[in-house]
Structures are given as C-alpha cells and as structure tokens.
A and B are shown apart, each in its own frame.
Chain A
Amino acid sequence: MTNKEKYKQAFSVLQPSGKISLEEERMMIMKKKTRFQIAATAAAVCLAFASGGGIVYAADLGGVQRKIQLWVQGDQTDADIVYNANGSYDLWYENEDGTLEDLHGGGVAIEDDGTERPLTEAELMDHLQQPTVDYKEDGSIWVYYYDQKTDITDQFKDGVCYVLVSNGEKDLYMTVLYEGGWCTSPHKYESPDSFR
C-alpha cells in the first residue's frame, strides 16, 4: 500500500454521527445559536482589551441594519452592521475569497458613579476603528490601523512592543503585549502593567 492508501484507510473511520442537519428551520436556529457563541467569545476578548480603558464589553443580540465602510487589515471594505439598542452589534462582510466574516460584540460603559449604560453607536464605531493586531501563520505580527499595515514582529522587547500609529488626523500610542492583548492612548504609551 502507498502512504496515501494507508492514510485514507486510517482516516476512513471518521464518520459524523448524523446530527448535522440541512433542514432550513433548524439551520436558522443553529445560525442564531452559533452567532451567540461567537458573540460571547468576542466579548471575552474585548473585555481583556478594554480592562484598562474603563469600558467593559458584554455580549448580547438583537437592531437596524446599515452599510458602513470598515478598515479590514489595511483595506477598506463594505460591511453590514446591525446596532442594537442594548449596546451590542452584529457585523459581517465578505472576504476577497468570498467567505463571510462575522464580528459580534458590544457591551456597557461604566460611568464614574459606577452605573452601567449600553454603549452608544458612536462608541461602538470608535471601538471598531481601533487598531488591531494580527498574528500570522508565518510567525509575523502586524498592526492594522485604517490603511496602515505595520510589521512589528521584530519590535518586541521582553514581550512588549510600543508602536505609534496615525490615521493622518490622530496619533495613537499603542502598547502591545506578545499574545496578551494591547491598549492605546492618544497621549502616551500606557504601561503594560496597567492592562496586563
């Protein structure tokens, strides 16, 4: 037997249990369920990123759909967004290869007196326009902000990288922890300890 034949024989034992369904109604229910799970996951990530900023993000669903232009890894992309009154959003756009990308998140802002309120649409949009950090499969690490793409792979010292990004109008001082999140400030580089 060739290696391919051996490999196929070994993996031919893998068979799904039969729970996967193509029934339309069930697919739609599962689509909502899947979105909820993704939203909750995204929220946990947001929480980690936002812990130094005074805004706590939580997940929820529910709004009015409109088209926006979103910067995705340095490229301007048309996206659909639904902003929900409870401070959450569902957003999706099509990748170059035709796959659909979903983003979900949202949450509440904590006021100085400790009371909570849903994030406003403007606050959510501001959140979506924040820089992002992407860890590539080839090991390189990139920061994306509007049309900027910055390779920060070699800029880490002791697991921390400081990088200044700008959209032409506003500068942002960015502190990135290797695989540990990041925070930004318009005034100065935040200490890693403030959000570690």
Chain B
Amino acid sequence: MMLAGAKALVPDVCVADSDPVGEGEDLTALARWAMRWSPYCAPVKGLEGTHALFLDITGCAHLFGGEAAMLADMVIKMRALGLTARAACAATPGAAFALARFAPEARHGLSAPDGAALRALVGALPVEALRLPNGTTTGLRALGLKTIGQVATQSSAALARRFGIDLVRALDRARGLEEEAIDPVAEIIPRRIRLRLAEPLMTRHGLELAGAKAAGEICTLLDSYNEGARRLVLNLYRVDGVVLQLVGGSGRAHRDAVLWTKVLCERIEAEANGAGLDLGFGVDLVEICAPVVEVLEGQVMDLDPVAAAALASADALHRLADRLSARLGAGRVTRMEAVAHWVPEQAVRPVAVADRRPQVSRFPEALAARRPALLLERAEPIDAIAEVPDGPPRLFRWRALAFKVACAEGPERIACGETHDRDYYRIETIEGRRFWLYRQGLPGKVDHPKWYVHGSAA
C-alpha cells in the first residue's frame, strides 16, 4: 500500500522513515545483551528487514533449567523490554529460524525435537521460512510448492538446476541436516564468571560488593589454571537491555583478589564521578572475564633479604601504577616505548601500563645524544636570521621574544620527503637557554626555507 492510501484510510497514522543502519545497531546492542544466555550470539545477516538473533546454547541450557525454561525466560525478558519475541530451539540455526518465525507455538518458546520429528515439524511450514530471497519463494509458490515438506519431496538435482544450489542448501539447513556457522558479536573469552542476582542492583555500594565477589571467583578460576590476569572486564547487564562495561588493567599478571577488587572499585568510582554510572532500573547480571591472561606459576618466597626487598619494591610500584591507572584512566599512566622511526615526534610512543610488554626499550645512543629533553608536540614557526645558504641561525624570534644564538651544533639532516627535509640544530642562546631548531626545506631545493623550534632543554 502506498503511504497516501494508508493516510486516506487512517488520517492520523504515525509515519517514520526507515533506518536500516540504526536498526542494525540496535540489533547488535540487543545481541550483546543476549549474551547473558550464551556467549555465542549474533544477529542474523543477509536478509533485509529480518530482525533475528542466533544463539548457540550448547552447554548453556541446563544453567537456566533446561531448554524450555530458557526459551520462556528469553521471551519474558524480551517482552519486558517492549519487544515482541518468538523463540525456538532446534538442532541447526536454519531449523530454529524457520520454527521461530512461522510455528505458532514459538510465541512462548518452542523447544523442537531432533531427527524425523523435527523434519515433520518443519515440513508443515511455508516456503518463506527457508530464509531465501523473495524471487525464489515466489517462484516456488508459482510452481505450487507452498510448504517446505512439498519442496523437500522434489529431487534436489532438479531444484538446484531450476533455483540454484542455495535452495538445496537452505532446505537442508531448515530440515536440520546441515550445520551453519555463526559469527558472534563479541570475542569469546574462556575465563569468565557470571553472577546472576536475585534482585537487581541499584546502588554503587551493591555494585562494589558484586565486583568484589566476582573478582574473588575469577581469581579462584585463574588459580586452577595457573594463570594471572593482565586485564579484567566487568560487564553489567542492566534490566532494560543495556550492557555497561568497566575495564581494569594491570602492569603485571596476577590473581590477587584483593588487588583486583581495589582496581575494579576505583574504576566504578571513576565512572561514577566522571560521566556518571547510570544503573537505570538496576543490574541483574554481573559478568567478569579475563581477556588477557598469562601463565603464572607459584612464586617462591625469597629468603635473601636484598632480593626480597627488590621483589617487594617492584610489587609496590606495580600496585601504585595499577591504582593510579584505575583512578585516572589507562591513558594517563604510561610508559615510553621506543619506536624505530627517524622522524623525531614518531620515535616515542606512550604505552598504557596494562598494555606494556616486559621488555626494556632503549633508543640508539648515537641518536639520543642529539635530542632534547622536552619536545614540543607541534613544532612552532619562528623568524630566524641564518647564514646563507645552510648555516645555523644567528638570531631568532619565538613567542614575541628575541634570542641571540651563542653556540650551535648541527646540522643533523632528517629526510621527511622532498621539500620537508629538516636540518636540525641544537643551539644555546647567550643567556644559556638551549633549544632544538630546524630548517624545513634544503637550501638548494627551497627558495625561502622556514625555521621552527621543536624542543627545549636540548
């Protein structure tokens, strides 16, 4: 029906533009929230206007009291979000999709049997359940094949010749004969613990208690694998279908529940003080996982007092770094890492404590000897008077102040491509202040080379 026709029938009809991108994003968010039932969760791809989620519930159903109870739980929770949901569970994703869309029992959750019973159940469904483009289903209907059962009686070679191999494959998938891979929305992290709460958490204090309990449990889990975590992710599943994520990092792998609790509580506090931790109507599921783990064998207490003190001080530093990065945010507590790059501003990279690899990074000595201690983030242009064609500057003006150069060392030529080559000079003014200047553009190639100051305390 045209919109004009619809408006003629119902004058106050509510109209909104279709927004496939926004719908896709919402579906992905819903898929993340649906990870509360199974980590293998993905929105169905390939068909426009089809809003469905696939969950691989292998090994998960018994946690919710069996397949039927789990499906009922899904339908109830989705309905609480204001969504109309139909759920079905079958041997293959194709069969589950067909049943959820077209079987009437799927309104309350339908747990289908396997084998011949499943094929009989699916056989009664219309051909639209095959998850095929419109053209194919209209073609099948034109031939009088209205249900999957009728299509299945035809020879597959004939169907493939007439409609393509996709039809045969879709038929096998819907009848529970062919498996299908699903691509989960989030990374599957094997080290995870989930706490299902009887009452939704509404307060920060409750959240901190839950964080402490979760940290304790994941540390026990890691202990059984002889592993330590470098990072813990706390996922908070809100009642209204939003997942909040808090990430705590550490500069060193460990499984000390008390320390991890502190880090998580600092994160909760930082979030609450910063953007605000909106718990909405409460959090009813807390999940903690350790995405980055390292093997951590038990440590022997060192009996040598000097070595023990060194160990204790290294430990204290790690704790300080973890505490500060939890409080200020990971990007604010960093270490410098050397990068093999000749452009000065790209030779150093800040690395967050939690991402650091335990190797010592040093710069080449010969290069370090000519570098300043402070580097401007962006080189600032200056007016300079220099010897022509390629001498060091004698006078320059920076930030409205005039400087007279007493000593200079250089040039050190750094190639940055054609007209951007730089000639660096370390200079000292007559007052003894040291700067790192460069001339951009080589004398023969550029008519009026520009001068910049790039660092101080050279």
Q: Do A and B bind each other?
A: no
Chain A interfacial positions (CB closer than 8 Å to B): none
A-contacting residues of B (Cβ < 8 Å)? none
